[in-house]
Structure 1
Amino acid sequence: MTYDNSPRPDIGTAHDPIHSAADLHRRWRLLMEPLGFSEILLWFTFIDADHLQTPALNQLPIPARPDRSISDVLMSRLGEAVAQLPDLSVALLLTRPGYDGVTDDDIGWARILTTDARRHGVILHPIHRANDVELIALTLPSDAAA
């Protein structure tokens, strides 16, 4: 869990393929900076077989504390979507206000989302979290659902 303090990615990279966790991190930075959030949201988008992000960027308001029922319903729906197009994978970003570091709730959300993704056959990219001061990866590529 490290913070990337390099310059903001160039807008010209917005449609580049996402081949690695570093590519995904740069994409989230491009989409979310400048940082600063007024509510807690879970963002999700699809990555296709060509490693391209689909145009839709979705958000779901969530509570601060991890909620297994929200996670289960979301992953069930995402599982239905990826079953129709099996080459899709999912990228998730938790955004919330605050200047603190990674919280137990952040880790809790990452754990239940990863667990439910596996159960529903959803392939996940590393889950990221952004607050008012940093954007970091909460999970590693090895944590992703297979």
Structure 2
Amino acid sequence: MLGGMTHPYRPPPIETATDPIHSPADMGQRWRALMGELGFDLRLLWVGFVGPDRRMIKALSQVELRATADAGLADEVMAGCRDVLADFPDGTTVALLLTRPGVGPVSRLDRQWAELLTAAAREHDVVIEPIFRAHDESLDLLQQVAVGR
């Protein structure tokens, strides 16, 4: 249980995944709707896109992550995002969620991945939303500020 909460985690309905995003809290709610129940077997990076209307586009990818932060993989992901963005309307941004098994506070590895992804986004001129991390007990904001705007 987290912080003495006595009720089970209930994700928002999947239909809310495309509600408008106006804040990091809204982005967190969209991720909650998309990922469903907490609990993960693999370390994954979820990559989504937010259109100029500030709604998630129904295109989502997952990339398996290593247990060590990898600048080359972060660069590869952002290069791919840059290429995909060419097919979306101007003003589309990239949303990122790191998921992994386990519990506890945001880890050093979580922060390292966020830093590498942020640096790669800048390098490839990709605008990203605030980055989140989820594990078996919570969803947490890793990086408050959107990058590249």
**So what's the TM-score if we normalise by structure 2?**
0.87
Q: Which moved more, 1:26-35 or 1:38-47?
A: 26-35
Measured at CA, do residues 11 and 103 of structure 1 come closer, stay the same or move farther in structure 2, by a change above 3 Å? Answer: same
3-state SS in 2 of match to 1:56: strand
Q: Does 1:124 align with 2:128?
A: yes
Q: How many pairs does the alignment contain? A: 142
Give the Cα separation in 2 of the matches to 1:7 and 1:38.
19
| Structure 1: stretches of 5+ with no match in the other structure | none
Aligned to 1:32: 35
Give the Cα separation in 1 of the matches to 2:11 and 2:44.
22
Aligned to 2:22: 19
**So what's the TM-score if we normalise by structure 1?**
0.88
Aligned to 2:71: 68
Give the Cα separation in 1 of the matches to 2:17 and 2:114.
25
Give the Cα separation in 2 of the matches to 1:104 and 1:34.
24
Shift of 1:122: 0.6
Shift of 1:88: 1.2
Q: Give the ranges of 4+ consecutive aligned residues of structure 1 lying more than 4 Å apart after TM superposition.
A: none
Measured at CA, do residues 78 and 84 of structure 1 come closer, stay the same or move farther in structure 2, by a change above 3 Å? Answer: same
Q: How many percent of aligned residue pairs carry the same amino acid?
A: 41
Give the Cα separation in 2 of the matches to 1:53 and 1:34.
19
Choose from 60, 82, 86 the match for 2:85: 82
Structure with a larger share of its residues in strand: 2
Whose relative contact order is higher, 1 or 2, with alpha carbons under 8 Å and at least 6 apart?
Answer: 1
